[in-house]
Amino acid sequence: MQLPKIYKDKDADLNLIKNKSIGIIGYGNQGRAQALNLLDSGMNVSIGLRNESSSFKMAVDSGLHCTPVNEIVKDCDIISLLIPDQVMKEVYSENIEPHLTEGKTLLFSHGYNIHYNLIQPPKFINVVMAAPSGAGSELRKQFKIGKGIPGLIAVHQDYSGDSFDIALSYSKAIGLTRMGVFKSTFKEETETDLFGEQIILTGGIPKLIQSAYKVLLEANYNPITAWFVCYYELKTIVDLFHSKGFEFMNQAISDTAEFGGITRGNRIINENVRNEMRLALKEIQSGKFHKEWMNEYESGYPQLKNMREKEKQIPIEEISKKLLKALCENK
């Protein structure tokens, strides 16, 4: 497979946005990280928040100018929407859309609201995406030590003719081009991001860990030993293949682990599991998951609240908190 073009620092020009005013809507995980990285890159950045927001003081203490969302939109050339997917449409309709003027750039770090037509921007603005492939905390951490994390960039609407270059410049200012960014689309980013979350990152891996731990406890094994093999050792293995691939991982582990992992792993992740993955992907592609999630939000999160309470009762959760605290103590 031939790799597509990887855009690095040398491909991006910070001067494209250096004289533009950038407004960050939201000061959560991504909002804080991107705003501080932009500030450190010498950009003119402000934060749009509600006056009663709990993040207001934190942003000001970090050296950032804060102002109401509608004022940010009026004053800024680039408006970056970094608030939760489910509330973005409401904030956009009430505080952003009425104040958009010709030539402004609306920037997203996730394509959800554009892809599912929750937000339909006017034709006289640019609509772009700069999506870090990782949490805001990691984006900020790597930036502070002179590194970065990879990301995706996309253009949904190119009014000015240089939207891609603006997205690339913004990506450089937050540290993405230090490692590299790839060209994508809002559709591709949204659907693959949701799939990765549900099947691997926040769905498959946690449930696999919890299920394996439960099986060992059912067989009367020591909970601490079960925790080490099902939970704690995971990071060691992830670090191995994350750095150099699965072949490198297999070279670093024992022959016993390699043989058992491949033979039993193929039994655990079988065609039935892959069919469930395909079904989850179809639900994302068709919009079924989106409708389910929006109904959940509009109903006040009844399922999510119930599931959160149940998750707290999972056996591995209690021992994880105790062991992690005990292991991190110096005494």
Q: Which two tokens stand for residue 278?
A: 């395909």
Mean pLDDT by 10 residues, the chain (331 residues): 92 95 94 95 91 74 85 94 95 94 97 97 98 95 96 97 97 97 97 97 95 96 94 92 90 94 95 97 98 97 94 87 83 53
What's the confidence (pLDDT) of residue 331? 53
Give the three-state DSSP class for 324. Answer: helix
**Which residue out of 99, 110, 156, 242 is catalytically annotated?**
110
| Domain residue ranges of the chain, discontinuous segments joined by + | 9-184, 196-328
Question: Which segments within the chain are labelled E, that is strand?
Answer: 21-25, 44-48, 65-67, 78-81, 105-108, 126-132, 151-157, 181-183
CB < 8 Å & 24+ apart, contacts of 195-200: 195/280, 195/281, 195/284, 198/280, 198/284, 198/289, 199/277, 199/280
| 110 has catalytic annotation | yes
- Can you tell me the distance from the alpha carbon of 326 to that of 331, in angstroms, rounded to the nearest whole number? 9
Strand 21-25 relative to strand 44-48, pairing: parallel
Q: Which two tokens stand for residue 324?
A: 């992690």
Question: What predicted TM-score, i.e. pTM, was given to this entire model?
Answer: 0.93
What superfamily would CATH give domain 9-184?
NAD(P)-binding Rossmann-like Domain (3.40.50.720)
What's the confidence (pLDDT) of residue 329? 76
Residue 223 burial (C-beta neighbours within 10 Å; 0-12, 13-18, 19+)? middle
The residue behind tokens 């608030």 is 83
